[in-house]
Amino acid sequence: MSAGGVDAPLGVFDSGLGGLTVVRALREILPDERIVYLGDTARVPYGTKGAATVIKYALACARHLVARDVKALVVACNTVSAVAPERLRVELDLPVLGVVEPGARAAVAASGTGRIGVLATAGTIASGAYSRAVAQVSTRAEVIGQAAPLLVPLAEEGWTDGDVPRLVVRRYIEPLAAARVDVVVLGCTHYPLLRGVIEEEARARIGPTVTVIDSARSVAADVMDFLASRGMRRRAPPTGAAVKLLVTDMPRTFRETAARFLGDSVGEVEQIDL
């Protein structure tokens, strides 16, 4: 299997809705690109599953997108990026870009003290992926991980402001404040929907100069640089729909919620079987 040409779409996948924040960032920074997005809604969430299961699911998603002749794969899931990218690169003959390394680089660049907090799913925290990625950039930086599982259902339900998300976020931010971090990485692609309340609580608990890193924006910038370096960027607006949405279950529910993640109206959602 090999990558499609310059005009081929980017393939993006996640366990569910969260990766749409990456699609939104990609559309902002690469408006000429076509995107095929696959949300594995039948098997969401990945963050609570073991590494072997996550790898199996990721390979199924990736192979489906490769069959649609994508030119590169963007793994818009921190859990998959934490445990599966090397296996995907071995199995598939096309570029694979994840979300962990771009977020780690951005965090090291933004940190003055080298103490970096990461909010993520339990699976991502347990994998140690951010600690490894940060260590590759700086041997002096330290990662303090905080599992924040309740932020995923809050984002999917649209509970992105008010007392409930504020109190939940506060509970997760307090250990990072006690650890005296000066950067907080949003280590799950759902979390950018809660960025406003996360930033408010981080500034209140940690300090006004704390930096919050949006991994969706970081990976979009990484994809842009990669495509430019390989001469793979499209140079003309796409004809027809710029984004094709695929799911493995509940397309109607996905369509209703996807508009909130993308900040735009959503067309038809195709259900597929993996």
**Cα–Cα distance between 180 and 188 in angstroms, integer?**
21
Q: Please indicate whether residue 188 is annotated as part of the active site.
A: yes
Q: Report the candidate in 174, 86, 179, 190 with the shortest Cα–Cα distance to residue 129.
A: 86
Residue 176 token pair: 């990072």
Report the b/e string of 185-209 with b at 16+ CB within 10 A.
bbbbbbbbbbbebbbebbeebbeee
What DSSP string describes 166-214? Answer: HHHHHHHHHHHHHTT-SEEEE-STTGGGGHHHHHHHHHHHT-TT-EEEE
Q: Of 73, 77, 169, 212, which residue is the catalytic one? A: 77
Which residue blocks in the chain are alpha helix, DSSP H? 20-29, 51-67, 78-83, 85-91, 100-110, 122-127, 129-137, 151-157, 163-178, 195-205, 215-229, 251-262
Of 188, 197, 232, 262, which residue is the catalytic one? 188
Q: What contacts 138, CB < 8 A, 6 or more positions away?
A: 108, 114
- Active site residues per annotation: 77, 188
